Structure 1
Amino acid sequence: MTSTDQPQDVPGERPSWLDRLDVLVGRWDTEAVFEAAFMGPDSQDTRAPGSTTFEWLAGHRFLLQRFTNENSAFPSGISVIGAGPVTDTFTQRYYDSRGVERVYQMTFDGREWTLWRESPGFWQRYTGLLAADGTAITGAWAASADGQEWRHEFALNHTRSAAYN
């Protein structure tokens, strides 16, 4: 292979819309809030604190998201976010401590963050809103068996605790 040969799977120019994710870079304190009965018929409201960090992989083509939970009943894991198949979209590859791996589609316009997956029997979506000052994201997950009727799963909120340069 000569220096001018390039494997077919190496992308060309870095998509400019990846720059929108810069606002996420840093450390965030998180809190998931599960309403009574979510964990079982007799369960009370449950708050699960944790943290999430976002950092660019060298080359700034993939954003790494690492998340932990203080309550071992909830998973910790990692996600890799990159440019999606359509302009202005992203793909998130999710892996957690339970051994779960999922692929989500994602949009982020600098203010509204949306993740979704369409899987027969278990559709999911997250919608979060970044505060105007960039210090908080307020959002919630919802699930559906058919993509038509959605039920609230849990709130997931982020509060910035440290920004990275």
Structure 2
Amino acid sequence: MKKMYNDLVDLLPDLISSFTNHTLFDVLEEDDLISFVPITDAAVGQEMVDQTNTVLAAFFEVDPAEEQCYEASAYNHKEDNPVLFWKDYLGCFYDFELVEEFLDDKAFAGTSFGTYRVVKIAFINEVNQRIKKRRLNGVRLEYKVKATPLDSNKHWNRTYDKDF
């Protein structure tokens, strides 16, 4: 099975759906690559900030016009960036390792940004433990993923290649 290269912006609709519906994020497979880098396009970055603020405002039941987790220019910050929130969220579902050969921009060295490889997919019990213990980019969530009957089958299909 060919492994995929994914950009966080392309995964955002699936991430938002998973977060909003409290479901397992099951789009990535082992050995897939995902890019977590600051967004350079201002329009795309602003859209990501707006969508992230809307999702978090709905989760915390606050008015997004009054309270925002991320300021408008957060998409190019090195620390308070929605990219890092979604990276931390995905880190509850997967174990990642940094792929050094994709570290083109030396400005990302020593930061949480870069291209990562999925090395392990967590099952639902482990996902819920990780979410309970973690702060996602400084945000503590009282959040639990709801199990569905197909979770174990999907986990098996995404974890093990079936080429015999």
- Give the TM-score category using the shorter length: under 0.3
- Pick 1 or 2: higher relative contact order, CA cutoff 8 A, min separation 6: 2
TM-score, normalised by the number of residues in structure 1 = 0.26
Q: Name the larger-Rg structure.
A: 1
TM-score, normalised by the number of residues in structure 2 = 0.26
Greater strand content: 1
